[in-house]
Amino acid sequence: MRKWRLLLQVVGAVSLALGLLGCSFEVTSALDEVRYPRIHPSVPFFMPAFWSMAAVDTVLLATFIIASVMLLALRRRAAVAYTWVIAVLIIYHLTPGLLWLRPHGVGVSVAAATGVANEGTAAILAFPVPFLYALVSIVCVQIARKRLRSVGTDSSSAAR
């Protein structure tokens, strides 16, 4: 039982570190955009696309960090929260591609903004290769959750 709790806490610690690294990337990206705005006629909607995606990325980063801390503290619903956050992160990273083909500069602007506005969560999803850590961590968290549930741990653990 102790090893499953430790597994949850290790995933929580690594995830927290990745989340904080992502925050530094996000802040750097935003500061660069404020200092040196990308204004070019080929990407007329870059600024709204960038700031919209950066805002969503920041909310997702905050949520990811909260879920990571919940894992570290072995909170009751930590495994479920973490799994949902990772699922939303993956969906969010796949959906901007749907807008890349839009006409009149919208698609090109969204494509250009995607790379720089999502640097924060990209740190999580690209470690060490795209989607590997995210998927492996979900599997580990769910296995630990089921093992802890099967041994009947108390309600203060992440088993439920």
DSSP state, residue 40: -
105 falls in which pLDDT band (50, 70, 90)?
Answer: confident
- Say which residue the tokens 């709790």 belong to: 5
- Say which residue the tokens 């990407």 belong to: 43
Query: Taking 90 as the threshold, does the pLDDT of residue 76 lie above it?
Result: no
Rounded Cα gap, residues 122 and 8, in angstroms: 22
Residue 121 CB neighbours (<10 A):
27
Report the mean per-residue pLDDT for the chain: 91
90 falls in which pLDDT band (50, 70, 90)?
Answer: very high
- Residue 144's SS3 state is helix
Q: What confidence score (pLDDT) does residue 56 get?
A: 96
10 falls in which pLDDT band (50, 70, 90)?
Answer: very high
Rounded Cα gap, residues 98 and 115, in angstroms: 14
Beta strand extents in 45-104 (DSSP E only): none
Q: What ranges do the domains of the chain cover?
A: 2-150
Structure tokens at 45: 């909607």
Structure tokens at 67: 């879920």
Rounded Cα gap, residues 126 and 14, in angstroms: 14
**pTM exceeding 0.85:** yes
Rounded Cα gap, residues 44 and 38, in angstroms: 10
For 55-70, the pLDDT digits (tens) are 999 999 999 999 999 9
**Of 132, 8, 6, 24, residue with least CA distance to 79:** 8
Tell me if 21 sits within 8 A of 123, measured CB to CB.
yes
